[in-house]
Chain A
Amino acid sequence: MMAVRFILGLLLTVVCLGIAGRRLMFLYRLGRTAQPLQGDRRPDTGAAVKAELLEVAGQRKLLRWTVPGVAHFAVFWGFMVLLFTVLEAFGGLVNSRFQIPFFGNWAWFGFVEDLFAMLCVAAIAAFVAIRIKEAPAGLGRRSRFFGSHLGPAWFVLFMIFNVVWTLLAYRGASINAQRVNELAGTPDAPLKFLQGAFASQWFASLFHPLGESTNEILETVLLLLSLAVLLGFTIFVTYSKHLHIFLSIPNVAFARRPRALGALQPVYSGGKKVDFEDPGDDDLMGVGKIEDFTWKGLLDFGTCTECGRCQSQCPAWNTDKPLSPKVLMMTLRDHALAKAPYLLATKEAPEGTEPTGIPEAAATEAEKPLVGPMGDESARVDEHGVSGEGVVPFDMLWSCTTCGACVEQCPVDIEHVDHIVDMRRYQVLMESAFPEEAGIMLRNLEHAGDPWGLGASMRLEWAEPLDFEVRVFGAAGEDQIPDDVDYLYWVGCAGALDDTAKRTARAVATLLHEAGVEFMVLGEGETCTGDPARRMGHEFLFQMLAMQNVETLNEVGAKRIVVTCAHCYNTLANEYPQVGGHYEVVHHTTLLARLVAEKRLTPVARVDASVTYHDPCYLGRHNRIFAAPREVLGAVPGATLTEMPRTRERSFCCGAGGARMWMDETLGTRINQNRADEAIETSASLVTAACPFCITMLSDGVAQRQQEGRAVGVEVTDVAEVLLRSIRPDLADAAAAVPD
């Protein structure tokens, strides 16, 4: 009997692990056809270890969603403990009395093993309940599982359940079989499972009436069955969306730290940064084919578990647009796998020979463009998946606002935004294919240095109404920022040129002046930081603007810079170091909060209003500035802050990011309206934000409702203006201009 079960068990193990291993090897070879990792992107070992502890062991991001988080925690740790049980089962193949040395026969160990197995079962029950409650059949697009593979997901739950019960049942039979041995007169052998292992004992009592010899057979049968289930499940995992149980570990280790938000990465080709002043002939400009992604990109696609947390937060998806970060990852993964035979044959063909043996399906897949053409009538993103002339429909790619809600949520650190921008780069730089209305913005940046094409000469008009003189660099003949200047005030295109944002620019200038902070502006020396060009994928234009600005800033000796725009902040602070600009950059809300805390600004006048605050994506999620604007609002007497349901890390985009400000929003409903309605729901009379583009978008949404006779008296304004009303009520410039 022992010999039979040993041989069968061994055979099963070798065959199953062989199949799974072959599949993993295939995935590894597929990864090798992709681009190398960005040259200077080596994981910092300390940060990677910390991330593994927090995110894999600690399940940090999963636990942000309490019920599914706790359930996943239980399954993860249940399986970790179950590995001991599995080890015992394998030991049982050799020796029916096998136990783990030292603690294998301790009662607490048996108890812990069975406890975690039962937690697994409870968690599966929770998952079943969640999947029924949130089924796409009932909720449609609102379900986070919409577009996921539902059949395999149910099968995974079923298989986890099978793994657990077969192991417990085997242990139950084993207890009985051992009692049999004991009665047969070998009492000297150490007993196992007799204490603590309550669930196994329950199975033992269930099987006991079957009699001794039956239990001995049952033990062998159940042992082989449990191993077959476990090994079969392993094979299934390597062929399914459930690969994350292996891939999440390297994916978390190689992820950008602290997170793949904030700065975008420069354009890399073959692991080397592309020099835009003198690009190589063969340099890749972004991603035009699936193999142009780095292997970390492919790892991202393979690691996606289709949980849909990203989808549930995505502003594009929530306004009925054809982009779901989850579906995008799934689509890229499916395409990579379908094209794999072609990629492997091409890559592994000996030098100078034609690749052979490419199946027709793979060859057809290889011919599909990665991004479909504009106006593709056949492009669909629905419950049947993604279809169209390209792998990724044009509108799917261009619906992204780069708000980062997906990256923020992803439990396995997938870097959606980087991949989207990389694909946009190829579209813009190589194909010149993008929503054409955005071309005006690009042309204006090139010719006039600002997105509206107004030109540098108008960059000081905002300061004219002020009752004090704003110091302009160079006006007094200086060629370096004088030592008495605390901050260079980077006004930004909106602050200098847009009427509403000019009010914010003046409010911040006035407050700094009141606090006795010496500041200076560059006036005509400023140009756009390049954020909209970069997020659209026009890296060349970004590099041009960035280098020009860095040259200016370095020449004037800028050290500390204060900005009023969340996008300027992100670019100056996080992206200019990539082109040699290293400055201490502070957002105006941070500086104002500090000045209030230091009592250099004392809000006195009451501003009796209920206020809500919208976290701009590029201030909040991308740069983790959540507290400062709220501290400023909290310091204003009379103002009471009511938070919107979606706030801080889960803030909902205004719709302007990712250069969407410069494109028409013709699909689905409007993002800014969705967010403005949420703000209006709080009954706040002052809707505040800390970014000129958010303010434009929200004002537009509020104006729409006001036209319908709702949201009467609601005003959208910058946090700084609320503070100004409390410090210089004489300047209160209440009437907000309605944008049009």
Chain B
Amino acid sequence: MTSGPEGKDVAARVAVRLNAGIIPDATKVSVDGGTVSAVQTVFAGRFQATSQVLRAPAVVTMRPNATSAEAAPASASVESVDVAVSDAAKGAKVDSREPKVSSGRPELTDAAMVVAGGRGVGSEDGFGVIEKTADALGAAVGASRTVTDQHWAPHELQVGQTGKTVAPSLYLAAGISGAIQHRAGMQSSKTIVVVNKDAKAPLFQIADFGVVGDLHAVLPALVDEVAKRKG
């Protein structure tokens, strides 16, 4: 199951019902002679813990993006089940539903790629280049606290200590110096790319790739290149 709030909730209930062992938030799973073991990242990515499930069957929830979806060979069949619902459970009634307004972009917390902008974007208009880059890559849009505090981007996009925690395969940070409050929300990302004018920006320390330069020059060039390669 996916290690999201709903997945975790269901997994815990399933584990209790099956009297099974559970490993939440795994990044890898392997089966070795009937025992399931899973790897978890602990202490914000500082350590890897490998755990075995002693009481089968095993229930494992996987971190978003820890693995890619694969088609299962089995075919699904429909099975009808009669479920008795108690009166107490009917106490709540859904009055109306309002679908979430979709931005057309992937959800920030489980996107495979995130493009995030910081103070360096300079203005609300300047933030547009982050959105363009994200769209070119099919990535989600993120922002530092400064950006959301200045209302250059909506609050839901904030990545960091007081915002969302993300761990995408690719995190592209543009104009974000990388104060600890921001790093707390993205440091477990797999590949980190940093674009910043200031070569001393602390985020370069944890970057896999870095570009020292103005994001307003670098990102449009990237967008062009992506467009060119996509043909």
A contact set with B: CB distance below 8 Å: 437-438, 440-441, 444, 447-448, 451-458, 497-500, 662-666, 670, 696, 700, 703-704, 707, 735, 737-740
Rank and list the top 3 A-B pairs by shortest CB-CB distance, nearest first.
A455-B43, A437-B162, A739-B179
Q: A440-B161, A664-B162 are in contact. Are A452 and B183 (CB under 8 A)?
A: yes
Kindly state the separation between the CA atoms of A666 and B150 in the bound complex, as whole angstroms. Answer: 10
Q: Which residues of B contact A696 (CB under 8 A)?
A: 179, 181
A453 and B44 form a contact (CB under 8 A): yes
B44 and A448 form a contact (CB under 8 A): yes
B177 and A498 form a contact (CB under 8 A): no
Q: A440-B184, A448-B43, A457-B43 are in contact. Are A740 and B178 (CB under 8 A)?
A: yes
Q: A738-B198, A740-B177 are in contact. List 10 more A-B contacts (CB 8 A).
A: A452-B183, A454-B44, A458-B46, A498-B179, A662-B162, A664-B149, A664-B162, A737-B202, A739-B181, A740-B175
B43 and A499 form a contact (CB under 8 A): no
Q: Which residues of A contact B183 (CB under 8 A)?
A: 452
Q: Which residues of A contact B184 (CB under 8 A)?
A: 440, 444, 452-454
B52 on interface, CB distance cutoff 8 Å: no
Q: Which residues of A contact B42 (CB under 8 A)?
A: 447
Kindly state the separation between the CA atoms of A5 and B35 in the bound complex, as whole angstroms. Answer: 102
**Could you tell me which residues of chain B, from 84 to 137, have a CB within 8 Å of some CB in chain A?**
118-119, 122
Kindly state the separation between the CA atoms of A111 and B43 in the bound complex, as whole angstroms. Answer: 78
B200 on interface, CB distance cutoff 8 Å: yes
Q: Which residues of A contact B177 (CB under 8 A)?
A: 737-740
Of all chain B residues, which has the CB nearest A700?
Answer: B146
A454 and B46 form a contact (CB under 8 A): yes
A737 and B144 form a contact (CB under 8 A): no
B182 on interface, CB distance cutoff 8 Å: yes
- Binary contact readout B35-58 vs A (1 if CB under 8 angstroms, 0 otherwise): 000000011101100000000000
A737 and B44 form a contact (CB under 8 A): no
Of all chain B residues, which has the CB nearest A436?
Answer: B162
B155 on interface, CB distance cutoff 8 Å: yes
Of all chain A residues, which has the CB nearest B162?
Answer: A437
Of B46, B162, B181, chain A has the most CB atoms within 10 Å of the CB of: B162
Kindly state the separation between the CA atoms of A170 and B183 in the bound complex, as whole angstroms. Answer: 77
Q: A452-B180, A737-B201 are in contact. Are A438 and B162 (CB under 8 A)?
A: yes
Kindly state the separation between the CA atoms of A24 and B201 in the bound complex, as whole angstroms. Answer: 64
B163 on interface, CB distance cutoff 8 Å: yes
Q: Which residues of B contact A458 (CB under 8 A)?
A: 46
Q: A440-B184, A452-B180 are in contact. Are A740 and B46 (CB under 8 A)?
A: no
Kindly state the separation between the CA atoms of A700 and B180 in the bound complex, as whole angstroms. Answer: 13
Selected from A457, A704, A740, the residue in CB contact (under 8 A) with B182 is A740
A740 and B119 form a contact (CB under 8 A): yes
- Binary contact readout B129-162 vs A (1 if CB under 8 angstroms, 0 otherwise): 0000000000000001110011000010010011
B contact set with A: CB distance below 8 Å: 42-44, 46-47, 118-119, 122, 144-146, 149-150, 155, 158, 161-163, 165, 175-184, 198, 200-202
Q: A497-B180, A700-B146 are in contact. Are A735 and B162 (CB under 8 A)?
A: no
Q: Which residues of B contact A440 (CB under 8 A)?
A: 161-162, 165, 184
Selected from A444, A453, A670, A703, the residue in CB contact (under 8 A) with B119 is A703
Secondary structure dominating the interface of B: loop
Selected from B149, B161, B176, B201, the residue in CB contact (under 8 A) with A452 is B161
Q: Which residues of A contact B144 (CB under 8 A)?
A: 740
Selected from B155, B163, B178, the residue in CB contact (under 8 A) with A666 is B155
Q: Which residues of A contact B163 (CB under 8 A)?
A: 437
A738 and B119 form a contact (CB under 8 A): yes
Kindly state the separation between the CA atoms of A704 and B150 in the bound complex, as whole angstroms. Answer: 9
Kindly state the separation between the CA atoms of A448 and B45 in the bound complex, as whole angstroms. Answer: 11
Report B149 CB to chain A, min CB distance, Å.
7
Q: Which residues of A contact B180 (CB under 8 A)?
A: 452, 454, 497-499
Kindly state the separation between the CA atoms of A739 and B203 in the bound complex, as whole angstroms. Answer: 11
Q: Which residues of A contact B149 (CB under 8 A)?
A: 664-665, 670
Kindly state the separation between the CA atoms of A455 and B46 in the bound complex, as whole angstroms. Answer: 7
Kindly state the separation between the CA atoms of A703 and B47 in the bound complex, as whole angstroms. Answer: 35
Q: Which residues of B contact A739 (CB under 8 A)?
A: 177, 179, 181
Kindly state the separation between the CA atoms of A437 and B149 in the bound complex, as whole angstroms. Answer: 14
Report A485 CB to chain B, min CB distance, Å.
29
Kindly state the separation between the CA atoms of A663 and B184 in the bound complex, as whole angstroms. Answer: 14
A-B contacts, 9 listed (Cβ < 8 Å)? A454-B184, A455-B47, A499-B179, A666-B155, A703-B119, A703-B146, A704-B146, A735-B200, A740-B145
Kindly state the separation between the CA atoms of A664 and B118 in the bound complex, as whole angstroms. Answer: 16
Report B214 CB to chain A, min CB distance, Å.
14
Of A453, A670, A700, A703, chain B has the most CB atoms within 10 Å of the CB of: A453
Q: Which residues of A contact B202 (CB under 8 A)?
A: 499, 737
Q: A448-B43, A453-B44, A740-B144 are in contact. Are A441 and B179 (CB under 8 A)?
A: no
A737 and B161 form a contact (CB under 8 A): no
A452 and B181 form a contact (CB under 8 A): yes
A662 and B161 form a contact (CB under 8 A): yes
Selected from B43, B46, B158, B200, the residue in CB contact (under 8 A) with A737 is B200
Selected from A457, A663, A670, A737, the residue in CB contact (under 8 A) with B162 is A663
Q: Which residues of A contact B46 (CB under 8 A)?
A: 454-455, 457-458
Of B122, B177, B178, B179, chain A has the most CB atoms within 10 Å of the CB of: B179
Kindly state the separation between the CA atoms of A738 and B197 in the bound complex, as whole angstroms. Answer: 12
Q: Which residues of B contact A665 (CB under 8 A)?
A: 149
Report B209 CB to chain A, min CB distance, Å.
19
A664 and B155 form a contact (CB under 8 A): yes
Of all chain A residues, which has the CB nearest B147?
Answer: A740
Of B150, B165, B180, B184, chain A has the most CB atoms within 10 Å of the CB of: B180
Report B157 CB to chain A, min CB distance, Å.
13
Kindly state the separation between the CA atoms of A738 and B175 in the bound complex, as whole angstroms. Answer: 11
Q: A662-B162, A737-B200, A739-B179 are in contact. Are A455 and B44 (CB under 8 A)?
A: yes
B201 and A453 form a contact (CB under 8 A): no
Kindly state the separation between the CA atoms of A300 and B161 in the bound complex, as whole angstroms. Answer: 37
Report B60 CB to chain A, min CB distance, Å.
20
Report A383 CB to chain B, min CB distance, Å.
27
Report B195 CB to chain A, min CB distance, Å.
13
Q: Which residues of A contact B178 (CB under 8 A)?
A: 740
B118 and A453 form a contact (CB under 8 A): no
Q: Which residues of A contact B165 (CB under 8 A)?
A: 440
Kindly state the separation between the CA atoms of A440 and B47 in the bound complex, as whole angstroms. Answer: 19
Of A440, A457, A703, chain B has the most CB atoms within 10 Å of the CB of: A440
Q: Which residues of B contact A740 (CB under 8 A)?
A: 118-119, 144-146, 175-179, 182
Of all chain A residues, which has the CB nearest B144?
Answer: A740
Of all chain B residues, which has the CB nearest A455?
Answer: B43
Kindly state the separation between the CA atoms of A704 and B144 in the bound complex, as whole angstroms. Answer: 13
Report B146 CB to chain A, min CB distance, Å.
5
Kindly state the separation between the CA atoms of A664 and B164 in the bound complex, as whole angstroms. Answer: 12
Kindly state the separation between the CA atoms of A410 and B69 in the bound complex, as whole angstroms. Answer: 63
Report A439 CB to chain B, min CB distance, Å.
10
Of all chain A residues, which has the CB nearest B187?
Answer: A454
B43 and A447 form a contact (CB under 8 A): yes
Q: Which residues of A contact B118 (CB under 8 A)?
A: 740
Q: Which residues of B contact A664 (CB under 8 A)?
A: 145, 149, 155, 158, 162
Of A451, A737, A739, chain B has the most CB atoms within 10 Å of the CB of: A739
Report B55 CB to chain A, min CB distance, Å.
25
Q: Which residues of A contact B122 (CB under 8 A)?
A: 707
Q: Which residues of B contact A700 (CB under 8 A)?
A: 146
Kindly state the separation between the CA atoms of A527 and B46 in the bound complex, as whole angstroms. Answer: 16
Of all chain B residues, which has the CB nearest A699?
Answer: B179
Of all chain A residues, which has the CB nearest B120?
Answer: A740
Kindly state the separation between the CA atoms of A384 and B10 in the bound complex, as whole angstroms. Answer: 48
Q: Which residues of B contact A663 (CB under 8 A)?
A: 162
Kindly state the separation between the CA atoms of A438 and B184 in the bound complex, as whole angstroms. Answer: 13
Q: Which residues of B contact A444 (CB under 8 A)?
A: 44, 184
Report A676 CB to chain B, min CB distance, Å.
13
Kindly state the separation between the CA atoms of A499 and B201 in the bound complex, as whole angstroms. Answer: 10
